[in-house]
Amino acid sequence: MKITSVPSFSKRKGGDLCLVPFIQVKGKPLPAASIGKHTFLPIVTGDFKGKAGEVLLTHDAQFPEKRVLLVGLGPEKEVTIESLRCAYGKSSKKAAACCAQTLNVLVPSLNGLDVQNVLHGLSEGLFLAHYRFNHLRKATLKAKELLPLKQLNLVGVAPQALHPVKEAWTLAQAVYWTRDLVNNNADIVTPHYLANCAKALAKGNSKVSCRVFEEKQLKKEKLNLILKVGQGAVHPPVMIVLEYKGNPRSKEKTVLVGKGITYDTGGLNLKPSGFMEDMRTDMGGAGCCLGTFKAAVALGLKVNLACVVASAENAIDGNSYKPGDVYDSYAGKTVEIGNTDAEGRLVLADALAWSVDHLKPTRMIDVCTLTGAARIALGDHIASLMCDDECLRTQLQQASEATHERVWPLPLVESYRKDLDSTRADIKNIGRGRNAGTIIGGLFLKEFVDSTPWAHLDIASVADRDHELDYTPKEATGFGVRLLTSFLCISS
Ligand code: BES
Ligand code: ZN
Ligand code: ZN
């Protein structure tokens, strides 16, 4: 992507599309960037009103660009970074639909939002919406559907002001990368494939190291629950440990732990039809952690970060792990399998306890598509956050505000813990009924974390969706990459 600045409206040259922003004053559209005395026909006719998120494609003989897109921002005092993401997300989709390769974006100047924030919101919207997963289409893929954008010219800003746009592009590439991983076939994205992706992230960077624990090392390290969940699959389980030393002088170390179930059949407690089809996305937590790691390294954040991925396929087979059996965990507690479909908490329990012992984190965040109940609780716009550490929780909530990747806290209610009591083992992997399923998942994990400040993000409802939003595509969303990258910036 070529990103350039053009000093003023009159200095710009041709291009495929010019984006012209409008605010609304007393219900009427008013240009939010300087365009001389020019006016557009759809404004004269009243067809374009400048409402927030309203976009209208038109032509103008006096413009050097092939087409013009009028972009509504609504009343000036209501414009926010998020409303810019939405307006420019919609614009981005219009631009792609008319195959625009070169965009001239007239940067709005707004009271109350400085140019850095304007550029931040605008470019995130443009980039995040400019995504399509085409890898699995062949015969029906039309040239029109290939992503066209090649060059972005920001009009009315100095070259030094482009920093937030370049940052947004780096971040967007990490989000695309995560979306691709989550969207791809489960037979492609196996535990071994995730390991290779992680190795590629470490390659050629002296600040990054990668270890992959295959079956033999998993046994040696006593990561028995990861082995158990993966033992029925043709694709063997792995645990991946990526480390980035971005601030060697600091003792702070954040560890992200991701659920990397590359396909969740439910195991012997087999999921019924209609509940299994999306289960290639059950590595969404791992995708999010790896994508955040990629972004942190690419942005050169001054943080010490590790990413641990517990990856297995929860397959059904003669050798699958069994409901009712009791297994050892890395932490030493025995676990009764109440349901083989509650597999995510098992692999995470081992990865969390191992991380505490071997990586000595100053704080730890796990990210996982853990429970269907998370969607029942908060719907598919908001992820569930469980965290008893006030400082960590507040920082995550601040990052959530900043990125609009929404999270909402659920309490880790101590009195529900007894639901996990087992008569045969130290703990059981499911509760008694369907109540508070998301919290029960969190309480199980809590048993495997010592006093390390820890947060649990259940992203089951937001990692993939069956509909698009203004700047987020249908299916894999890449949720959490922006949230956690922002968290790392805010808290370092
Ligand atoms: N991967 C699922 C959770 C899930 C469901 C993610 C729907 C995305 C969409 C998880 O492993 C699972 O099956 N959880 C069970 C837990 C239950 C057996 C306690 C669930 O939510 O039903
Ligand atoms: Zn499951
Ligand atoms: Zn699962």
Q: Which pLDDT score is estimated for 147?
A: 84
Using only C-alpha atoms, what is the Rg of the chain? 24
Q: Among residues 280, 452, 304, 247, which one has the least CA distance to residue 366?
A: 452
* Tens digits of residue pLDDT in 373-425: 999 999 999 999 999 999 999 999 999 999 999 999 999 999 999 999 999 99
pLDDT(140) > 90:
no
Q: Tell me the pTM.
A: 0.98
pLDDT at 139 over 90: no
Q: What is the pLDDT of residues 30-77, one digit of tens each?
A: 999 999 889 999 999 999 999 999 999 999 999 999 999 999 999 999
pLDDT band at 138 (very low <50, low <70, confident <90, very high): confident
- Of the pLDDT bands very low, low, confident and very high (cuts 50, 70, 90), residue 146 is confident
Q: Is residue 263 within a helix (H) or strand (E), and if so which, with residue range?
A: strand 254-264
Ligand 1, from 279, 280, 313, 371: best to mutate by most atoms within 8 Å of Cβ?
371
Q: How far apart are CA 32 and CA 111, in angstroms?
A: 10
Decide: 383 and 477 in contact? Cβ < 8 Å: no
pLDDT band at 153 (very low <50, low <70, confident <90, very high): very high
Q: DSSP letter at 320?
A: -
Whether the pLDDT of residue 145 is over 90: the answer is no
Neighbours of 274 (CB within 10 A): 7
Nearest CA to ligand 1 atom 17: 342
Ligand 1 centre to CA of 276 (Å) is 10
CA 481 – CA 91 distance, rounded (Å): 23
Ligand 1 mean position, distance from CA 370 (Å): 6
User: 23 pairs with which residues across the strands?
Assistant: 30
Residue 220 CB-density burial (10 A; 0-12 exposed, 13-18 middle, 19+ buried):
exposed
271: annotated active-site residue:
yes
The per-residue DSSP string of 396-452 comes to: HHHHHHHHT-EEEE----GGGGGGG--SSSSEESS-SSSTTHHHHHHHHHHTT--SS
Structure confidence at residue 230 (pLDDT)? 98
Gap from CA of 339 to ligand 2 centroid (Å) = 9
The overall average pLDDT reported for the chain is 97
The pair of structure tokens assigned to 206 is 């002296």
Alpha carbon distance, N-terminus to C-terminus of the chain: 29
Is 85 among the catalytic positions? no
Q: Which amino acid appears at position 63 of this protein?
A: F
